[in-house]
Copies of this chain bind each other. A is one copy, B any other.
Amino acid sequence: MGEEGDRLLNLESVRKSLVRQEDTIIFSLIERSKYPINSRLYHQPSLLHFFINESEALQAKAGRYISPEENAFFPDSLPPPMLPPPKHKPVLHPSGASININEKIFDHYLKTLIPLVAAEGSDDGNYATTAASDLACLQALSRRIHFGKFVAEVKFRDSPQDYTPAILAKDKEGLMALLTFESVEEAIKKRVEKKAMVFGQDVEKPESGTYKVKPAVVSQLYGEWVIPLTKFVQVEYLLRRLD
């Protein structure tokens, strides 16, 4: 995807990327689980907010947000890239490309996910490494959820006739129904649960059955949050697809 542009945009390449992104998400959560909540990071004025804002400014200079797969948490006033952007035809429809639901993702991550993943104890003082770890989790989740734009674009291109009536009628529920395949969603939840077991096991004592991040938490994360938000992005994208 990405730099190769249109040529590689098909359902199989999108699926492969989504499966690979599961590993990245689970690795990042396992890394976050090394630290306790460290709530001092999140007090106002929020050190995490500052850290992410500054990290994004730096990554913008290095060209991160040239890629249509990347969406900033604080997109206002990012500096321009230091290298000229590569020239390739945009893959996404322009009105949908700018969809950004990172505020929802940030909020949910902080309130729901951190308490389920963090180590016991309340504060180990490792704020900088915890913030870097939070950033890795947030970027991995944001990328996965906003990948819904590519999923929707591929599905629309494959059968525009299926989606056009609902788009013209602004029928969100109808679109959501067209995008929902329960058996596929169940398979994803099972797979990420298995991955959490494989990647989070104690390799020296696999029989101990202890995992760095609870596999049920990862399955729940996908079922209640990652999959629904990805579909939300898909619906929003499709609603703008004929603008």
Contacts and interface: CB of A to CB of B under 8 A. Distances in A.
Contact of A63 (B23, B60, B128, B191): B128
Contacts of A93: none
A64 B127 CA distance: 7
A204 interface: yes
A80 to B, nearest CB: 13
A170 interface: no
Contact of A132 (B54, B59, B194, B203): B59
A131 to B, nearest CB: 6
Interface string A39-56: 010000001001100110
Interface stretch (A27-35, A159-167, A229-237): A27-35
Given A62-B127, A136-B136, A194-B203, 7 more contacts: A23-B30, A47-B82, A62-B128, A67-B126, A83-B127, A191-B204, A198-B199
